[in-house]
Structure 1
Amino acid sequence: MKRWPPTTVKARCVAVFTVHGLGCDPKEYTTRDGQCCPVCYEGTVVRRDCTQQLGTKCGPCEYGTYMNQPNGLNKCFPCTSCDPGHGLFVQQECRATHNTVCDVLPGYLCKSFADDTGCSLAEKHKLCAAGERILEPGTSRTDTVCERCKPGYFSQDGVNCTAWTM
């Protein structure tokens, strides 16, 4: 078996350590210069990369931003806003560790829903036309279901069908 001289082994180990930066451990991130540093926790981001003497310096997310995962980023994510003009309201406020959760106002239906942020796109419930009635009222997750009035009945407002009278 061939033995490497100590200096060669040492140089080889340094080379392996430098290459290691390309594939850091799950609780580490890769810096711009290829070093592996410990990640910051939820609610914080990197303010200064680690050095051989000091660990990663993390700082809290500012108001209006959040970070919901361990990370090696230097900026928090901006909080989502829930626009009442588009049928949304704040169900849960944004915090340093989680985004805003939006839900729909009465009279609206959610068209795009995600578990972590709630509703991101709302639409007004369909209105039934004259000659129709509301079979099933709309909810936050389903649209209004309309039904034509039976013969001998009418509906001017698209809500209820009323019998014709003579």
Structure 2
Amino acid sequence: MCYRSTLAVFGVFCCVAVFMAPGLCCLSKEYATTDMQCCPMCHKGTVVRRDCTRQLGTWCISCVNGTFMNQPNGLTKCFPCTPCDQGPGLFAQQGCTGTKDTVCDVVSGYFCKTLMDETGCSLAQKHTSCDPGHRMKRPGTSRTDTVCESCPPAYFSLEGVNCTVWTT
């Protein structure tokens, strides 16, 4: 529901009536304050230090190192940057800035088990090594694990990479 105050002037006496509709309807570039007022949003990379008043606009401050804000907002705290050191196999492909979160990717020999939309990979795992008697059907990539398969009859594999025919 919206609460948007509407002023109405009646007749010669200039009586002012305030009509309140249910719910506060702020414009798309505004946010609602706790005292039911609409204030201009802060830009990307900043958050609200002080809500607007009738005399002054919204006071916004920049996000400090280790935090970011990727959207216009009416928030009082920036989001914490995603660390890429949550486990082995990750590195920061793009560092965190005031307006963008860190984007993590995987190092060679690992694949991404949990891929997030904007922050890249959040959990990496080492590629599977094929056991002896098996060969690598498909090598692992940054997004998929290695696929192994058994060697066919009359073939063997000591190292789990390629199958070799038995000799007599």
TM (norm. structure 1) is 0.87
Tell me which stretches of 4 or more aligned residues in structure 1 moved more than 2 Å. Answer: 3-8, 162-166
Q: How many residues align?
A: 159
Equivalence for 1:87: 89
Equivalence for 2:77: 75
Bigger shift: 106-115 or 29-38?
A: 106-115
Equivalence for 2:65: 63
Query: Secondary structure of the equivalent of 1:122?
Result: strand
Mapping for residues 1-166 of structure 1, pairs under 5 Å: 4-5=10-11, 6-8=13-15, 10-12=16-18, 15-16=19-20, 22-83=24-85, 85-166=87-168
Structure 2 runs not aligned, ≥5 long: 1-8
Structure 1 runs not aligned, ≥5 long: none
Indicate if the aligned counterparts of 1:46 and 1:58 stay in contact, CA closer than 8 A. Answer: yes
Tell me how far apart the structure 2 counterparts of residues 126 and 35 of structure 1 sit (CA, whole Å): 57
Higher strand share: 2
Tell me how far apart the structure 2 counterparts of residues 67 and 77 of structure 1 sit (CA, whole Å): 6
Query: Secondary structure of the equivalent of 1:59?
Result: strand
Bigger shift: 146-155 or 40-49?
A: 146-155
Query: Secondary structure of the equivalent of 2:17?
Result: helix
Provide the alpha-carbon RMSD of the alignment. Answer: 2.0
Say if 1:45 and 1:84 are closer, same or farther in 2 by CA, change over 3 A.
closer
TM (norm. structure 2) is 0.86
Indicate if the aligned counterparts of 1:21 and 1:36 stay in contact, CA closer than 8 A. Answer: no
Q: Percent identity?
A: 62
In structure 2, what residue type is equivalent to 1:40? C
Query: Secondary structure of the equivalent of 1:109?
Result: strand
Higher helix share: 1
